[in-house]
């Protein structure tokens, strides 16, 4: 699968990547990353592939000299009459690290080294997503990811992993059991996440 962006900054805990495309440029085969989806970045120099979950998406001006202003036009009208406007915007994905691959083996946990600036960023294919979410230990890192909505992120990440599986319901059950141990001292938080991953809610 082709790269969709590149790393702008990185730490052991996470990285920020800039998209090479606008949302309109993404196709079904490499759908635009969304809240709770999984991305990866591979470093040729270190040989480490880092996997993470998108916890924030920010679109804004590329520089301080071209700030957007309200134009009272629909997106279709803007594309027809002022298409250059979109070239002045950029989209960044903020990603929390949850797993890594060194050699052939994938491991849940923080990577030994962060991605490197300008490393390329990719969407995971279904098989790789299933592999790195087989161990539900990734949920521990997701539950303490940056931002003010960790419970929403936990639920979104579980739903992303479940959709990649044919036995979606069974995976949700196993995830719920894992969460009951992870949040055993916080029943309110557990209940909140379980309601969000119930099959009838998405």
Q: What's the pLDDT tens digit per position in 101-116?
A: 998 889 999 999 999 9
Domain that holds residue 31: 5-201
- 3-state SS assignment for residue 156: helix
pLDDT at residue number 22: 67
User: pLDDT tens for residues 45-99?
Assistant: 999 999 999 999 998 888 777 777 787 778 888 888 888 777 778 899 999 999 9
pLDDT digits (tens, 9 = 90+) for 115-137: 999 999 999 999 999 999 999 99
The Cα 88–Cα 28 span in angstroms is 25
Whether the pLDDT of residue 191 is over 90: the answer is yes
pLDDT reported for residue 202? 61
Number of domains, the chain: 1
pLDDT at position 61, please? 84
Burial class (CB in 10 A: 0-12, 13-18, 19+), 30: middle
Residue-wise pLDDT tens digits, 6-55: 999 999 999 999 999 766 666 555 568 999 999 999 999 999 999 999 99
pTM of the model: 0.88
């Amino acid at each position: 699968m082709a790269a969709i962006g590149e790393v702008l900054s990185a730490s052991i805990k996470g990285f920020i990547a800039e998209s090479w495309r606008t949302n309109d440029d993404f196709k079904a085969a490499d759908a635009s990353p969304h809240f709770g989806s999984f991305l990866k970045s591979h470093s040729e120099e270190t040989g480490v592939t880092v996997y993470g979950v998108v916890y924030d998406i920010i679109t804004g001006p590329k520089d301080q000299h071209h700030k957007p202003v309200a134009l009272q036009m629909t997106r279709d009208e803007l594309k027809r009459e002022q298409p250059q406007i979109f070239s002045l915007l950029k989209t960044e994905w903020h990603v929390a690290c949850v797993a890594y691959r060194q050699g052939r083996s994938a491991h849940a946990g923080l990577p030994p080294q962060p991605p490197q600036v300008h490393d390329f960023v990719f969407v995971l294919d279904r098989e790789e997503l299933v592999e790195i979410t087989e161990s539900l230990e990734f949920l521990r890192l997701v539950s303490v990811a940056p931002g003010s909505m960790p419970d929403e992120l936990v639920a979104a990440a579980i739903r992303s992993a479940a959709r990649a599986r044919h036995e979606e319901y069974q995976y949700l059950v196993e995830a719920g059991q894992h969460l009951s141990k992870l949040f055993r001292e916080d029943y309110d938080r557990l209940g909140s996440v379980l309601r969000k991953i119930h099959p009838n809610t998405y």
